[in-house]
Amino acid sequence: MPVFYGLEITSRLMLGTAQYPSPAILAEAFKRSKAGVATVSVRREAGHDRAGQDFWSLIQKLGVTVLPNTAGCHSVREAITTAQMARELFETDWIKLEVIGHADTLQPDPFALVEAAKNLNQEGFKVFPYCTDDLVVCEKLLTAGCRVLMPWGAPIGSGLGLNNPYALRSIRAHFPDVPLVVDAGLGLPSQAAQVMEMGYDAVLLNTAVAKAGDPAIMAEAFAKAVDAGALAHKADPMLPRDMAAPSTPILGKAFL
């Protein structure tokens, strides 16, 4: 199972907690999937708002590791302030760092992301940076002190799957000892399996489960796909080849 900042997680599936039809369905999705991590957005009113307190109580009952995030932040200062609030509210140094640079694609701002990551690492946070599938950005984030990388598969909520498998394979090959999580863009369990077949440590998703006709069943489907992909990677799968190869040996074949 994946180990993030010295903590072993019980599952390779990480789930978001937004957009579910009801708290009961959210809880059932986590139960059916056995997800090991729940990402939670920081709401500025959560400290005094009753609805926010009820939501936090629900998350605590899930019995999973909580990963607060800085979703919706568009600047370094905003992301750092939100992370500081998250540490106080959720009593954890873990933070999924998002610094959005483009309003339409929700693509992270690479420059602001690296700057915010450096500051938060210096403050003792354990940063999980949401980034694009760019090797240079990933290298800069590691230099800034991050010990986990979370490249996207595709834009948040798009369900497009893996827009650039080559880039994701390159990141895995360049950083063989760094825990890697594909975050965002997955729409189908088969896409999650593909991620794990590449040797990634986990996947993080939200919309594909929360917006499914039956979120609980979809969460379970993703969990099984993640396990299948991880098992396939462990088995050392055959590489694609350009020509056919007979599965039945020619030796011993009858000649007429």
214: which residues sit within 8 A by CB, 6+ positions away? none
Residue type, 45: E
Which residue among 34, 61, 96, 234 is the active-site one? 96
Q: Which of 17, 12, 4, 27 has its CA nearest to residue 223?
A: 12
Residue 197: burial class (beta carbons within 10 Å; 0-12, 13-18, 19+): middle
User: 25-56 in b/e burial notation, b at 16+ Cβ within 10 A?
Assistant: bbbbbbebbebbbbbbbbbeebeeeeebeebb
Q: Encoding tokens for residue 218?
A: 């979809």
Closest to 158 in 3D by CA, of 135, 136, 139, 186: 186
- Reduced DSSP (H G I as helix, E B as strand, rest coil) percent helix, strand, coil of the chain, to 5: 40, 15, 45
For residue 232, give the amino acid letter. Answer: A
Residue 96 annotated in active site: yes
SS3 37: strand
Torsion of CA 127, 128, 131, 133, to 10 degrees: 120
Distance between CA atoms of 48 and 179, rounded to whole angstroms? 36
Catalytic machinery residues: 96
